Structures are given as C-alpha cells and as structure tokens.
Amino acid sequence: MAIDMQTIFPEAKDIPDAFRCSEIAPEPVYLIDGQLKVNWDKVRAVQSPILIRNGDKLTSPHLGECPHLTGEESMAALQAAIKVFDSGMGSWPMMKNGERLDHMRTFLQHMRGKEKTFALLEMWETGKKYQDCLNEFQRTLTYIEDTMKAFTELEKDTSIFTRVGPTLALIRRQPLGVVLCLGPFNYPLNETFALVIPALLMGNSVVFKQPDQGALCTLPLLEDMAASFPPGVINVINGNGAETIGPIMESGSISILGFIGSSRVANLLIHQHPRNNRLRTILGLEAKNAAYILPDANLDLAIRECIAGALEFNGQRCTAIKQIWVHKKLLEPFLSGMDDYLQQLGYGMPWQDEVMLTPLAEPNKVAFLNELVNDAQARGAQVVNSNGGMSYGTFFFPAVVYPVEPSMRIYQEEQFGPVIPVGSFSRLDDLFTYFRNSDYGQQASIFTRSPAQAGPLIDILVNQVSRVNLNTRCQRSPDELPFTGRKGSAEGTLSVKDALRAFSIRSLAVANEQGRELFFSLLAGKNSEFLRL
C-alpha cells in the first residue's frame, strides 16, 4: 500500500470543530508559595507538532505560551518549599496524616471536570491520540485515589510496635525534606504525578518543573493546586533547565530528586548537588526493552504484540519494545507478517479513532530517526517493510530494520520512536553477548508456547531486567506492581505502595527498661503525634 505523504496533514477546514485548538490556551501561570503568577516578559511560544497544510506548505499552529523562568523564580520556589518544610518542623510535615489526605481529596475534586480541556491541549501539544489523552487523565485520577488508599493502609501497616528483648519501639514512616520533581513530555500528567502525589502525602514539600513539551496541558491544574494545598507545599515552575534547575541543585537543599528522562541529564543534576550523600534519587531513565520470539511462538500473537509494544504513542515510551530477537526458524514469516500488519495500521491525525500512527512530538525527531536508519543501512542492514522510514514534516512511518548488529547506533541507542530493529538467533547462547553488554535493564517480553523453552530464558532475564512479560508486550500497568529497572534504566522503585516508601524514611521511638514508663505514659496521654496508638 502506497502512502500519500502529501495528505497526511489536514487543511484547517478539515479539522473537526470539536478538536480545534483555538481559544483554549490557559494563561502562562506558574505557582510559587501559593500564588499564581504571570510574567509576560518571561514566556515562550508553544507550537504544535500537528502541522496544518496550506497548498504545498506546512505550518505549525501556535497553541499559546508557557512560563520561561530564570534562576530568580526557581530559587523563590525553592525558598517557599524550604519554609513550609522548615527542617521537618513546618506546618506540612507536622500536619496529621488525615489532614494531608483532606488536602489531597480537595485537589482531586478540583481536578475532576478538566478532563477534556487537558486532553485537547495534550493532543495538540504532543500529538498523542485524543482518546489516549483522556485515558491518561482518568488513569491519573485513579492513581491518586489508589495512592490515598495505600497511604492510609501504609500508616496502619507500618505504625507498629516492636519488642526485641527488653526494648520497645514504635516505627512510622516520616518525610525526608524538599523534593524536586521533573517529569517527561510523553506522560506529563501521569508520570509526573506518580512522583508528586506520594511525595506530598508523605509530608514532603515539592518543587515541580514542568517538561518543555507537555507543560501547556497541565497549566489549568495549577489553580487547583493553589486552592487545595497550603502555600509553599507545591511550587510549579518552567523554563530552561540549566537556568532554573541548576541553582536549585547547587543549593544543596534538595533531599529527593524525582526525575524521568535521560541518564545524561540525571547524572548532570546529581553531580550539581554539593552533598550527594544527602540526596535520595528516584530515577526513570532510558530503556531498550527487547522481545524474544522463540521457535514455537504463536506468530500472529507475537507480531501483534510486538507492533503494539513498539508503536504505542509512536514508540515514545520508556516501556516500548525497542529491540526484537527472532529465532531463525521464524525469521522469514515474522518479517513478512510485520510488513503485512504495518500496512494495515491507521495513520493520520490523533483525533481519528482508527489511527495508531501520529505526528512525533519532539523537534528534530524525524531527522534523528533518519540518522539511525541511515547508519544501520551503511553498516549492512536493510529496511525490510514497505514504506519503512518514509517521512513528511513531523510524521515518520515505522521502519523495520534487519539485521541489526552491535556496530550500529540503533543496536546501542534508545530510539524512542517508530524504528524497529530486528536481530536473529539460533540458540540462547547467541544472545549472551547482548545480555552482558546492554546498558539497560527495564523489561523484556518472551513469546513461546513451551514451558521448556521459556523457563531457561526467564531465569536468565530476571537477572538482567526487572520485569519479564510472557506472551505480551512490555508495559508499566497495573500501577500496583513495582516499576523499576536494572543497570542504567532506573534507580528506586515506583508503584502505588513503593512510591510512598520511596519518598519517606522509617523513624522510630525506642525505650528500654528505664524508658518504658515514659513510653506508655506518652501513649496514654496522647502527648505525641508520633508516639501514639
């Protein structure tokens, strides 16, 4: 099937009224110390990757403005967070858990009803399918509800009395300090709130820097934050990372860094902190998740799941399948089946229900993907699917590249886009070099019908990656399961329960025989919020 690249993008008149982006942009507000602020001298224009066709020309619609702040504003945000935490003696960390829950319930209630505004803005800002934007918002609401429930259960489960011989102890989880959160463009609400929500519930104060892309869609929620939390508890900024985040890290006042992005940026931020031993890091970094197609795999299932895993949101996900290893017995039918399946995929604009492939969000992404494909071809690989690698504007049709070898960039680098590298193997031993040399260790998928085939590979992979998926694509959900990675893919563990632990520390009050009387008197007299029943 030939692709008419010239008609992928719509003319202005072809955009359905329900999905037009005019007159929806919020003011470019930022939030510091409970106050919403606008500084029109410090804004940047937000352009859409969804291009508009006018004859033979493509233009990028102007969506609005976002704050583009400097170190002055970022340090003001930091000082507000420091003030409300006050070395653990401030109003927020000393607040009763039930009262913090009440503030979170208020925020959740304010959020409801903004689903369509968020989805429309995110769609135009990132090119994500409209329905997927709605799903992200709803998933985030559910995540907040589940985290509040887990917070209540954690308080019950971890607020325990322990006796070791004559020693009594009461153990609870307490906040750590000021948290700096930096989320990604691909899930600017869900991934970011997976850091922010547990950090707040555990009593930390937060400085949250929005991603450069994906900031506009979250701006309407800042007024909800201001109305729901005490001043300084959460502060939201945007701007050049070096100007805004550098001074915050260099101050040494950050206790936890929650970051989702590249290892290069993570290492830069960490090394800016003058007291690394006092910095806890929760990092979601690159991944190169592989799928392994064993000789007895259900071929139709493997092809369907690999394509869905590689191309959901155009492969712009850390959990995407980014490398496929196929047993030589199935190689030819697998590649042929991939080609057939790809030719049936819908492509176009993200408001179209039947579409899977949409414009790419990141500037210069098409050029980067072309570089990867050209490098592989120069080193002996071929694009083996029809129309593979065709591009126009911000649209790139998926390219299946085979055979991929270690000398190629696509073998080593995370593509974060619709390029699907494929290699082949005859025995598990053929993969050992790949296992040993890979810098990444988030997930893997195995496709087979045989326990005898799956068992040995599972036993190898669980020491290489943190999640092995059986006959299904790599993914994060459900949020109740641990989400982490080995090697260079992550540091720390996120899930509904694990995130609450990650943003807190166990503290305990202890008494031996001399202190036992005081211990029980405190319990009976309710003199301490910590030492209580």
pLDDT tens-digit series, residues 287-297:
999 999 999 99
Q: Which amino acid is at 365?
A: K
The structure tokens 């179209």 sit at 352
Count of beta carbons in the 10 Å neighbourhood of residue 329: 15
DSSP string, 327-375: ETTTHHHHHHHHHHHHHHS-BS-TT-TT--B----STTHHHHHHHHHHH
Confidence label for 384 from pLDDT (cuts 50, 70 and 90): very high
Confidence label for 1 from pLDDT (cuts 50, 70 and 90): low
Query: Both tokens of residue 366?
Result: 């098409």
Arithmetic mean of pLDDT, 441-457: 97
What is the reported pLDDT for 22?
72
For the whole model, what pTM was predicted?
0.95
Percentage, residues of the chain above pLDDT 70: 99
CB 445, CB 490: distance < 8 Å: no
Q: Which long-range contacts (CB under 8 A, 24 or more apart) does 451-457 make?
A: 453/294, 453/295, 453/296, 454/294, 456/428, 457/292, 457/294, 457/428
Is the model's pLDDT at 159 over the cut of 70?
Answer: no
Confidence label for 118 from pLDDT (cuts 50, 70 and 90): very high
Residue 423: strand pairing partners: 325
pLDDT digits (tens, 9 = 90+) for 487-521: 999 999 999 999 999 999 999 999 998 999 999 89
Report the range of poorest mean pLDDT among 4-13, 40-49, 204-213, 523-532. 523-532
- pLDDT, greater one: 251 or 530: 251
Arithmetic mean of pLDDT, 86-90: 97
Q: Which DSSP helix (H) or strand (E) runs through 285?
A: none
Confidence label for 25 from pLDDT (cuts 50, 70 and 90): confident
What is the reported pLDDT for 260?
95
Helices (H), 312-350: 331-344
How do 57-59 and 52-54 pair as beta strands?
antiparallel
pLDDT digits (tens, 9 = 90+) for 314-359: 999 999 999 999 999 999 999 999 999 999 999 999 999 899 999 9
What is the reported pLDDT for 247?
97
